[in-house]
Chain A
Amino acid sequence: MRHVTLSLLLFVLGCAAAQQAAPKWLNDAQGAVQAAQAAGADQIPAAQDALAKANQALSKAKGTLNPMQGTLATSQADLAKNLTTEAKSKANLQTAMDTLTWVKAQ
């Protein structure tokens, strides 16, 4: 009887642990979306669409546990992040060109 109780307890604990641990691909997708947000993708018009698609795919991935949706979320999030970098790089270039124009005019 004691063995049966112990086995049941281990089974319940095992199931609980399995339910808590998210698969690596889902953690990767979540990390990629967070990185895009941290880069400021939600503030850059050119990146907002990709960020929205990343969030949509992440929701689907969580709901269906489909790794393909996780990969899609990661890809869209990477795109959103790099579109943000591109927009910032172009803004920096514009600032530098404005400065050059000003210096030439002095």
Chain B
Amino acid sequence: MTQTRQMLAVAAAAALLTGCSTLEPSPALLSARSGYQALNPNDPHNAFERGQAEAALQKANNCLKGGDPATCQALADIANAKVQNADAVGRAAEATEKTVKVQDETLAIGRAKGMAAVQTTAAATAATAATEEQLAKQKAALAAAEKERLRALNTLKSFANIVEDKERGLVISIGGETLFKVNSAKFGPSANQELTAVALYLQLDPRPTVVEGHTDNTGKPEYNMKLSQERAQNVMDFLIGQGVSKDRITSVGFGETRPIADNKTKKGRALNRRVDVVMVKATQ
């Protein structure tokens, strides 16, 4: 009897703990998730706002694991607002672009018909004035987002080799010794700071991303393959933990199969021991 009571008590405590440790997503969070999924990932007009929405959504999702309910609700509301905001910015830009096209067509037809320009353009001019102001604001917002992206890219250049590869896209190459302990997939002391900078950049550049692990040809090929896979996986997990969406990032280990320098020299081998974070080139 006593044993039964003890078992019931343990089960009740476990149920209580389970209930406390993970919260159910609120309607606002569900709305934010579905709204984010519906956004066009290739729309250049709201890339910055999409990045903000993605980061906010990640925070709101993470909060469900043991966060305070009131805080989680506020984070869900923030994420939902940011997702809707990205959507609104995209729709506004689309309407503005259509307006410019329609106005161009109007003027072309008016000229072809030999209509008095004053009458034809009177209505169009009024609309153009407002449209130009909006276009200027959108251009300024795009320029500000690009400036922020370039600033983050410059930070990366202090410890990584950055190459715009015509075939692969933007490659952020970080030396293996910089990130990992020798002959291990565990992070070294400077990894946290450098990978945090990479994560920040990834949030400003929404392209799909592949984390590649590479080694030199020292040791057995099978071992090198496994080590490169583990290192790439650990880097990817860290970046996801920093708010990069797991839906846009993958990892792969190439072992010693893709050297970029001569493995016969010490310098060449050092260059080959690396992790490449590849921002995949968009296919047109």
Contact = CB atoms under 8 A, between A and B. Distances in A.
Interface in A59-79: 68-69, 71-72, 75-76, 78-79
B109 A86 contact: no
B78 interface: yes
Interface in A76-91: 76, 78-79, 82-83, 85-86, 88-90
A79 B88 contact: yes
B123 A79 contact: no
A95 B127 contact: yes
Given A96-B102, A103-B110, A79 B95 contact: no
B134 A96 contact: no
Interface residues on A, range: 20 to 34
A83 B87 CA distance: 9
A99 interface: yes
Contacts, number: 101
A83 B88 contact: yes
B250 interface: no
Interface of B: 56, 71, 74-75, 77-78, 81-82, 84-85, 88-89, 91-93, 95-96, 98-99, 102-103, 105-106, 109-110, 113, 115, 120, 123-124, 126-127, 130-131, 134, 137
Interface of A: 50, 53, 68-69, 71-72, 75-76, 78-79, 82-83, 85-86, 88-90, 92-93, 95-100, 102-104, 106
